[in-house]
Chains A and B, each alone.
Chain A
């Protein structure tokens, strides 16, 4: 055995310092995953670009006649798809963060460390923000270059809408994480599937009046519906619709609280039933 010189004790950090260190460590761990997996880069480059090309081309087609409704629809389509990716990127970044740990059987490695659940979530969300900025940035640029649609022209009214959609993405991801903890990786399809349920119900590209009558009450209960209604108000140059934003804000707080409670309950079940053995 080689001789190992005893090292000096590492400097102690405060509890808050340790928390922040752990969050950054988790964010960096997921950065390595993205940078060293080229196909993961598609999530923030190619797929957003494909979406903006698809919906931008559709917008160009429907606005050919220059009629007012058609011109409106093109703005709804482009602004809708760009803002939809705020939910998509924030949700997928967090959900696949946990899924990555299950796919690589890394969950036990993490769970035996002092890492708290909230620190893990914050670390994944922190890196998710980076992915969001890159992914949505690609879309904003694509919309401007290919379709002369300047998302920034919608103004500062976008900020509260983006904030609501960001938190909606987090809330959905907490719900998906809870399902993955409870039902295993079989529930991973929900990480993507749940978005396709939300997309039509939220009126991302159209007012929810266009939905079948039976679905309209469900749509009205979703905070995303009100956030996208506020977005359409901006597209129509009517300024910020604060009443819609207020409903969206209240809705998203309720949604986040419910998702958090669900995740905590599922985590308790996970520990009680020893589901960690699925990943060892």
Chain B
């Protein structure tokens, strides 16, 4: 989708081609679930994020890509309200994050491959805790549904410490989607997973987005994730958006056959020891 659903004023380094009048009407209809404008973040003397604009529309699946240190995680943490931007604004489902973080957070789910499960709790207890933190009085039916979606219903009684890393990731995604968020944010959801588990994650995410119309914003270093799950990619380099469009459009704009080529191109430019060249195609 997606190319056609992008807002006409969206700042992009690569345009996605002409937008027909019909598609433009779709732009107007598709609701923005995330609107981040002019995000800037400095850590000591380094600028981690430098004027990033990101919008995600309802049901859209977007990958935020870039080499290590490009500013992806900092951008996500600002979108989640955990890190305060030095400049710029974030709105989630039209709610300004800086003013109403708790209300805005009700519309978002977040999971990351590197985050542990809360210790000393069984999986069902853990999921119930987070369901209630999202304001669900009786999360049990949603827990059953979530576990079933990823075919891990048998883990409900397991202790968090007994799970493999793949199982923990799946439980983390179930936790992040219990409250049916409008926007699901995932940081490296398939990192260090076996291919079969990674595939189960991807299939589950697609199923979730299709059924509930959940929008997705995810980072990944695995381009097969991106190609299978996402319909739009946003590349960051040196804290700036350098490409925004469909995977095919972005790859061809950089003169590569696939996203891996674009990634390597940008990673080479990102190397502090390499001669500084343009990150743009």
Interface size class of B (residues with CB under 8 A): 35 or more
Instruction: Give CA–CA (A179, B112) in the complex, Å.
Output: 27
- Categorize the interface residue count of chain A: 35 or more
Q: Is the CB of B142 within 8 A of A32?
A: no
Q: How far is the CA of A17 from the CA of B134 in the complex (A)?
A: 11
- For B128, the chain A residues whose CB sits under 8 A away are 25
**Residues of chain B lying within 8 A (CB to CB) of residue A10:** 136-139, 142, 179
User: Which residues from A are CB-within-8-Å of B115?
Assistant: 105, 108-109, 280
The answer on a CB contact under 8 Å between B204 and A1 is yes
A7 to B81, CA, bound (A): 29
Q: Say yes or no: A4 contacts B118, CB within 8 Å.
A: no
- Besides A4-B148, A112-B105, A274-B83, 4 more A-B contacts (Cβ < 8 Å) are A22-B133, A36-B120, A113-B134, A274-B77
Is there an interface contact between B120 and A32, defined as CB atoms closer than 8 Å? yes
Interface of A is mostly: loop
Assuming the A-B contacts A6-B211, A28-B129, are A109 and B118 also in contact, with contact meaning beta carbons closer than 8 angstroms in the complex? yes
- Give residues of chain A (169-219) contacting chain B, Cβ–Cβ below 8 Å: none
Residues on A with beta carbons closer than 8 Å to the beta carbon of B119: 33, 104, 106
CB neighbours (8 Å) of A105 from chain B are 115-116
Is B125 on the interface with A (CB-CB < 8 A)? Answer: yes
Our pick among A18, A26, A104, A280 for the contact of B135 (Cβ within 8 Å) is: A18
For the complex, is B114 an interface residue (Cβ under 8 Å from A)? yes
User: Are A37's CB and B137's CB within 8 A?
Assistant: no
Binary per-residue interface labels of chain B (262-275) against chain A in the complex, 1 for a CB within 8 Å, 0 otherwise:
00000000000000
Minimum distance in angstroms from B112 CB to a CB of chain A: 7
Q: Mark A102-142, 1 if CB is under 8 A from B, else 0.
A: 00111011111111100000000000000000000000000
Q: Does A22 contact B135, Cβ atoms closer than 8 Å?
A: yes
**A37 adjacent to B120 (CB under 8 Å):** yes
Please tell me if B21 contacts chain A, counting CB pairs below 8 Å: no
- 11-39 of chain A: CB within 8 A of chain B: 11, 13, 17-18, 21-22, 24-26, 28-29, 32-33, 36-37
